[in-house]
Amino acid sequence: MFDQKFVWGVASSAYQVEGTDPEDGRGEMIWDDFLEEGHGYEGQTGAVSCDHMHRYKQDYALMGNLGIQAYRFSLNWARILPDGTGRVNEKAIAMYRDMILTMKSHGIEPYITLFHWEFPKALYHKGGWLNDEVVEWFGNYAKVVAEHFSDICTNFITFNEPQCVVLLGHLTGEHAPGIRVSIRDSFRIAHNLLKSHGQAVKMLRAYAKQPIRIGYAPTGGVAYPETEDPADVAAAKSVYFGFDNPMERWAWNVSWFSDPVFLGHYPKEGLEKFAKYLPEITEADLELIHQPLDFMGQNIYNGYGIRAGADGKPEYVERKPGSPVTAVDWPVTPKAFYYGIKFLCERYPLPLFITENGMGCHDNIAPDGRVHDWDRITFLDEYIGQMQRAMEDGADVRGYFCWTFLDNLEWDKGYKERFGLVYVDYENQRRIVKDSAYWYQKLIATRGGSLSCNDICKEILFLDPVCTHNIWGGTKLREEFNYPVEGDDIGECWGISAHPNGDGSGRYGAYAGWKLSRLWEEHPEVFGNLDVDRFPLLVKLIDARDDLSIQVHPNDSYAKEHENGSFGKTECWYVLDCPENASLVIGHNAKSKEELSQMIAEGRWKEFIREVPVQKGDFIQIDPGTVHAIKGGLLILETQQNSDITYRVYDYDRLSNGKPRELHIQQSEDVITIPAREPSECIIHTKNSILNELVPLYSCDLYSVFHLNLEGSMSFRQKYPFLNMTVTDGSGIINGQPIHKGDNFILPNEFGMVELTGNLEAVLSTADHIKEASNEEYMERSIRRVV
């Protein structure tokens, strides 16, 4: 969660949104010729763009209505100073002042960027950034800005992404002015940019009419570690601030453009690598560049994975096939956001503002007239969640500016790329608020509380089960349910289990690889914060090729005293399949304790046990103290307490590894209920023929069990603390996820609507009668977990 002082804003630049007006007095800038001469997408230019210069009053009202707190925008140097120096365009001053006052009237704090690539054409013809006089030119521009705007604005940023100015504008020629200078000249351009930054800071402070705050907004892709291993983290950090790029792309670098500004010196590794290309760098230059700043900015969109190699050197990690990318083909890497923020805050001693972050999407107007940009919402949710994580780990982040508010001219890419929270129809300048803008509005209003990372994980929790080999087991769990287990003695599949003897693991998503017991301990909110110290249920599939032992389970009080605090074991069975004339052992015939002991001692088993006929679809409740046994040939789904306490009364004198299996006569006699319940009280002959409904089978203080027979489609609201589900036959789709026979998963707390399609049968269960822990009990459990 974010505090009240955290700044939530949006960002843009002048040329990308403003448009032009023949009466506005603006001077020409380098992007005018560059795009008009056809160097951009489909010949598109910024002549009109969003026409923001004529529509800013409506645009700021829209910002205010969406709860935007701050707006980072740039001034057009060539609009204010048409010749780059000298004469001031008073129309531009008036327009920008009115912009600032209008946004402030809507509760929006202005953050002025002096240079977002709007270089005056007149100065380009004098040598541009290669002319050392540019330092004074830019300083004079900063003086004009301070004189005309510092009375109504207190936040200033000198440069936006100087790396792009050098690399894209002067090395590759992709951006204006579209030239390719020598490597040596590119370093002079970079050095002049940094000196211009320092001179601007001096002039802003000297001529400001009130105390102001100044920052600087570079960029760069983030090297992030493949794993959390300290060796990988160190390797990634070294690459992030290092110099691996080839010389023709040397300027895509973080430390060369940040160390002099924030630390007062160029990085040693760079000085050594670039020595033959460097201009003269004096102590006076470094003193000028290293002016006192109030904050650092950083534009972060994506990154690349790094690991430590066997020799300790960093290795670049290929992304997995199918990894997500944006509509502009940039990798989606939320982890890069966390580590970029972390690494920057560890290296530089200033508070950080994220001055740009956002996503280009293929946005379209839907038939309902709206723009549903779920990809952008997912992107922002993941990235901002990682920013929160970095702040929780100590990073001093003061604000976040989403790129961008309005769809606009994306430089040489024209209007084909849409990054805005608001859709712009360029044919008629209509604005349509996208779903992501409403999402951002809620994020701001809740101070981050609406982020997924601050909510219950609502993913379906698919589990990889644990299968066991048993003396009485068979092969159906492999052959019919496709569990990847070898052998002809596979007795049980612990499909949903957090028991130490068979702890299932998350298969996909946020909790992939997590044991269910760990998830229960660390995120009890997923299961409704129930007041119980372990996941309460265990769901099994049982394939009995041969008869199971005659056995009995204790209740909770007996198990707690005699079995090291374990749960007792209440369970129930749903018969998935069985042969004709099948039966189960349920109960016994002893009338007294003495008769019980005598029958057991004398081995009068046929006389002792009750065999009850069963058929497919029968439900049997087995309370503690009930003598029972599953007979050979039955396939059972068992829902039980999370316990593995079983007392064997008789095992047919079978041998396991040459020895008789252990019996538990004394414990059995302690817990067997006398007299036994009548079988009719234990068995429900369901043969569920009701379609597309959750049919209740049984409910007690420990669990509720349901059967589902799906043909076609149905939906229902998941209203329980959690809902276990095992697909026992067929296949279908649940909320977009394909499911098949043998799948085991959990629908978490507050999951919402469940939408099912297909032809399948399933057994579901929950622990809905266990109360939710109070705040005090929840805190006590949390403290116990920490201890």
Reading the block at residue 554, the tokens are: 């204790």
Q: Which of 123, 284, 121 is nearest to 194 (CA)?
A: 284
Cα–Cα distance measured from residue 401 to residue 409, given in angstroms and rounded to the nearest whole number:
18
User: Do residues 627 and 667 touch, judged by C-beta distance below 8 A?
Assistant: no
Q: Which of 18, 109, 161, 382 is catalytic?
A: 161
Active site residue 23: no
User: Do residues 638 and 571 touch, judged by C-beta distance below 8 A?
Assistant: yes
Active site residue 161: yes
Residues 6+ apart with CB under 8 A from 585: 550, 609, 610, 611, 612, 627, 628, 629, 630, 631
Reading the block at residue 374, the tokens are: 């779920």
Crossing angle between the packed helical segments 90-105 and 52-65, to the nearest 10 degrees? 10
Q: Which of 531, 560, 520 is nearest to 780 (CA)?
A: 531
According to DSSP H, which parts of 208-254 are helical?
Answer: 230-240
Cα–Cα distance measured from residue 630 to residue 636, given in angstroms and rounded to the nearest whole number:
9
> Would you call 309 helix, strand, or coil by DSSP?
coil
CB neighbour burial string for 66-80, b if at least 16 within 10 angstroms, e if fewer = bbbbbbbbbbbbbbb
According to DSSP H, which parts of 357-473 are helical?
Answer: 374-392, 435-445
Q: Which of 118, 356, 382, 492 is catalytic?
A: 356
Residues 6+ apart with CB under 8 A from 94: none
Cα separations (Å) of 271 from 265, 276, 619?
10, 9, 77
Q: Which of 383, 449, 303, 405 is nearest to 6 (CA)?
A: 449
User: Do residues 596 and 701 touch, judged by C-beta distance below 8 A?
Assistant: no
Tell me which H or E stretch contains 582. Answer: none
Cα separations (Å) of 787 from 177, 781, 783, 784?
62, 10, 6, 5
Cα–Cα distance measured from residue 236 to residue 305, given in angstroms and rounded to the nearest whole number:
8
Reading the block at residue 603, the tokens are: 């081995």
Cα separations (Å) of 351 from 215, 225, 525?
10, 23, 33
Question: What percentage of the chain's residues is helix, strand, coil (to nearest 5)?
Answer: 30, 25, 40
Cα separations (Å) of 153 from 117, 145, 175?
21, 10, 30
Q: Which of 459, 550, 466 is nearest to 503 (CA)?
A: 466
Cα–Cα distance measured from residue 599 to residue 253, given in angstroms and rounded to the nearest whole number:
84
User: Do residues 609 and 629 touch, judged by C-beta distance below 8 A?
Assistant: yes
List residues with catalytic annotation: 161, 356
